[in-house]
Amino acid sequence: MTTPRREDEGISGEERLRALLQASRKLGALRDPEELVRALAREIGGLVAFDYLSLFLVDVLGEGPSWHILDVDHQSLLTPLAEVPLEETVEAWVLEHQRVVNHPPGNDEPAFPGLEGILSRHGVASLCALPLATVNRRLGTLIVASRQGDAYPAGERDFLVLVADQVALALDDAGNFERLRIAQADLTRSNESLLLLLGVGRSILSSLDLELVLRSVASSVRSAFRCDVASVVLIEPDGAYGRVFVLDFPDSRGFAREGKLIPVVGSALEEILRTGAPRDLSRIAASDPGRAMAEAEGLSTGWGFPLVGRGAALGVLTVARRGPDGFDGQELDLLGQIAGQLAIALDNALAYREIAQLRDRLAEEKLYLEDEIRSEMSFDEIVGRSAALRRVLKEVETVAPTDSTVLIQGETGSGKELIARAIHERGARSGQTFVKLNCAAIPTGLLESELFGHQKGAFTGAIADRVGRFELAQRGTIFLDEIAEVPLELQPKLLRVIQEREFERLGSSRTLRTDARLLTATNRDLAAMVEAGRFRADLFYRLNVFPIQVPALRERPEDIPLLVRHFVQQLGRRMNKRVETIPAETMATLTRYDWPGNIRELQNLIERAMILTPGPVLRVPLDDLRARITPGAPAGPPRTLVEAERQHVLAALEESNWVLGGANGAAVRLGMNRSTLQFRMKKLGIVRPAG
């Protein structure tokens, strides 16, 4: 029903103006265009006759051009027809020319194609279109339409101009308010972004502990951006894999976990590292290894940002959400800035960690080498030239250039450690550290800590971080003596180190990698222990890649004279004693003894003899040895005392290339004067061979 004309009801012009001003105050409090057009219809419904009220706005509230057409009778909003292009509509013409347009048009007013048909379908007989503008900007067009003919004569149009001015002011206020709200929101967001960046900076500066820094930043990012997950993936040294180093994912379903290895080739990591640009993780290929994990966790949107240090890609910062909301441009810009800060911190932390590791290794190596210097088993070289020993040394020459695991077997005191050192010194790692550990000498509860290290607080007494032997032997060689004494519960971890080259310190979840060559030794039958269930078969097979059997001393009696002379000279320098003669009877007895304690027993006996010897002739306490020599036992290669002495002198002459005197001559090696040696040679019928 058409709204009646107010002047017909006796409302004066002053009253209409007063009512219009009151309506404008109400309109100024509205911000939504639909609410505005409904409120406008209510407020001016008693002042102007109309059946339809339309607002055409041009980006007043930041939403682009929009129509809001109200059917007064049905209080419903109509959808504008798209049959006429925007630039040909009456609204666009009024907005451009800032003139009032009436329908039916006057003589000097423009015609609009299609307008007659649209008005006819809605039964509109009169229309007035008025520009909405302030002194600062053009806002749109106001249209009132009525089914009555000649509803808007000149006087009514003048009043409608006043209505349009008030609506324009209300719209301008709403627009200014919206722009202010957006500006305040941007300022608030900018402040929040600045606070986040400052917080990240504080986290980075507060600690040089890489894991602590990354955990703090990941937690801040997840909270600030309302993400479900934030993680940092670090690229492994070989560049083939990325490891999930830090994962902040409180609601994880268990498919994503710290320590997980992600292959670089064929994954989003490859593109991010290659281009150095962020990557939309919601668009990764179905074949990407991370796609299945993301779907299993219910993650729908996510981004990866490269962490680029000094010329090298160090890792990737990732964020993801489960809901449909993506990341807008401002969020991506801010995340890019955080990734830049994090890359610098990561670069510095990695450099600090490397320096700290080198410092710790140097400190540990210093203590270790000092212990080695004090060790009584520190031989200068392997002494002997028997066939059995030559066979072992040939095997050493064969396996040393490789990085294969070697199992050295032999009786206690037979020189297994010297063989291990010989393998290390003749290999490519000879310039690196040789680390040894006697597994039988460490309490079972502390063996894991000795091998792999521990974190502070991992157990009672762990008052500081400790570097394990495998870390200490990085790029060098680790020698585990008495490997059979490793308890069954620790053997799987040792097997993992051999197979995967990785381990964790006690009390730490961070996986470390090792590049140490492993040499092991035992005096027990590992195969029998496997049969008895006291040693893991899979570990035995990994250790037994290249077995070396060190002969017992009784299997190489011809080396005993050489070893005796070696120990006499070595101990003589240490004790500041000069022993010139070793009686032939003494040498024969030493040769006949079976030496159950092998070389270690022989060395200890010679040391006791050196202590007891007051003059130049070695006095060996032979009574204990004679008591343990089986009657009728073969005397070894030398059958008589003279033969033993002759062999002893010949060995010294051949070693010195038949040079009698001097610091390296045979006389010094035998512990006698040159003239005494010449007399002995004559007595024993020893003549230098021709040539």
HEC string for 425-491 = HCCCCCCCCEEEEEHHHCCHHHHHHHHHCECCCCCCCCCCCECCHHHHCCCCEEEEECHHHCCCCCH
pTM of the model: 0.46
Q: What is the pLDDT of residue 94?
A: 92
First to last CA, the chain: 141
Specify the CATH architecture of the domain 207-352. 2-Layer Sandwich (3.30)
Lowest-confidence segment of 484-498, 501-515, 524-538 by average pLDDT: 501-515
417 vs 34, which has greater pLDDT? 417
Distance CA 624, CA 356 (A): 55
CATH 1.10.8.60 domain span(s) along the chain: 555-684
In the chain, list all ranges with CATH 3.30.450.40: 6-179, 207-352
219 contacts: CB under 8 Å, gap ≥ 6? 230, 248
For residue 628, what are the CA distances in angstroms to 249, 560, 593? 72, 17, 8
So what's the pLDDT on residue 375? 43
- Rounding to the nearest 10 degrees, give the CA dihedral for residues 359, 363, 366, 372: -130
d(CA 298, CA 216): 24
Q: For the chain, what is the mean pLDDT?
A: 82
With a pLDDT cut of 70, the percent of the chain lying above it is 85
Please report which confidence band the pLDDT of residue 240 belongs to, taking 50, 70 and 90 as the band edges: confident
pLDDT of residue 535: 94
Question: 618 by DSSP, 3-state: which?
Answer: coil
Which range, 9-23, 158-172, 557-571, 664-678, is most confident? Answer: 557-571
Mean predicted confidence (pLDDT) in 501-513 = 88
CA–CA separation, 441 vs 485, rounded Å?
Answer: 9
For residue 690, what pLDDT is reported?
64
- Mean pLDDT, range 422-451, rounded to an integer: 89
Q: What is the C-alpha radius of gyration for the chain, rounded to an integer number of angstroms? A: 48
Q: Please give the average per-residue pLDDT across 204-218, as a whole number.
A: 71
Residue of higher predicted confidence among 235 and 444: 235
Q: Average the pLDDT over 385-397 and give the result.
A: 90
- Mean pLDDT over 179-190 rounds to 62
Worst-scoring range by mean pLDDT, 277-286, 367-376, 447-456? 367-376
Measure the CA–CA gap between 134 and 164, rounded to whole angstroms: 10
Confidence band for 192, pLDDT divided at 50, 70 and 90: low
Q: CATH number of 555-684: 1.10.8.60, 3.30.70.890, 3.40.50.720, 2.60.40.10?
A: 1.10.8.60
Least confident of 1-5, 97-101, 185-189, 567-571: 1-5
State residue 481's pLDDT score. Answer: 94
Contact 622, 605 (CB under 8 A): no
CA distances from 283 to 351, 402, 410 (A): 35, 46, 62
Sole residue written with tokens 């033969």: 643
For residue 201, the model assigns a pLDDT of 58
- The DSSP result for 368-413, as a single string, is HHHHHHH-TT--SS-----HHHHHHHHHHHHHTTS---EEEE--TT
Confidence bin at 387 (pLDDT 50/70/90): confident
Gap between the Cα atoms of 384 and 551, Å rounded: 12
Please name which of 595, 600, 603, 583 lies closest in space to residue 625, comparing C-alpha atoms.
595
> Within its chain, how far is the Cα of 378 from the centroid?
41
Q: Cβ of 246: how many Cβ atoms within 10 Å? A: 23
What is the mean predicted confidence (pLDDT) over 115-121? 85
pLDDT of 292: 85
Count of Cβ atoms closer than 10 Å to residue 582 Cβ: 24
Residue 28 has pLDDT above 70, yes or no: no
Quote the pLDDT of residue 61. 56
User: Which pLDDT value is given to residue 253?
Assistant: 87
| Residue 420 vs residue 86, higher pLDDT | 420
Residue 380 confidence (pLDDT) above 50: no
Which residues, other chains included, contact 152 with Cβ-Cβ below 8 Å and sequence gap of 6+?
Answer: 102, 126, 127, 128, 144, 146, 160
Phi, psi at 8, each rounded to 5°: -70, -25
What kind of fold does domain 375-551 have according to CATH?
A: Rossmann fold (3.40.50)
Going across the sheet that includes 546-549, the strands are: 434-438, 477-481, 517-522, 406-409, 546-549
**For the ranges 83-87, 527-531, 556-560, which has the lowest average pLDDT?**
83-87
Q: Which residue spans of the chain are classified as CATH 3.40.50.300?
A: 375-551
The domain defined by 6-179 folds into Beta-Lactamase (3.30.450)
Cα–Cα distances in angstroms (integers) from residue 128 to residues 80, 216, 447, in the given order: 17, 64, 96
Do the Cβ atoms of 95 and 141 come closer than 8 Å?
yes
Joined together, the tokens standing for residue 296 give 């299993």
Q: Are 157 and 11 in contact (CB under 8 A)?
A: no
Measured from the Cβ of residue 456, the count of other Cβ atoms closer than 10 Å reads 11
Which pLDDT belongs to residue 641? Answer: 61
Q: In the predicted model, what is the mean pLDDT of residues 16-23? A: 75
Task: Considering only residues 380 and 597, tell me which one the structure prediction assigns the higher pLDDT.
Answer: 597
pLDDT in tens, 256-268: 888 888 888 888 8
**What SS3 state is found at 670?**
helix
Token duo for residue 217: 């930043």
Amino acid code (one letter) for 161: V
Q: What is the per-residue pLDDT across 619-637, written as a single tens digit (0 to 9) for each?
A: 888 887 777 775 555 544 4
Bigger pLDDT: 79 vs 400: 400
Residue with tokens 């990734």: 339
Q: C-alpha distances in angstroms, 520 versus 352, 389, 640?
A: 34, 19, 41
E strands present in 489-618:
502-504, 511-513, 517-522, 546-549
Least confident of 7-21, 314-328, 426-440, 542-556: 7-21
Residue 376 confidence (pLDDT) = 37
Dist CA 508 CA 512 (whole Å): 10
Distances (CA, A) of 339 to 258, 334, 415, 497: 20, 9, 56, 34
pLDDT at 36: 78
Phi, psi of 110 (to 5 degrees): -75, 160
Each residue of 480-506: pLDDT tens digit?
999 999 999 999 999 999 999 999 988
Confidence grade of residue 6 (pLDDT, cut at 50, 70, 90): very low
At 184 the pLDDT is 67
Give the position of tokens 């063989």: 419
- Quick one: pLDDT band at residue 377, thresholds 50, 70, 90? very low
CA 148 – CA 8 distance, rounded (Å): 14
> How many C-beta atoms lie closer than 10 Å to residue 436's C-beta?
21
Beta bridge partners of 241: 263
Residues 453-472: pLDDT tens digits? Answer: 888 877 777 777 788 899 88
Determine the 3-state secondary structure of 518 from DSSP. Answer: strand
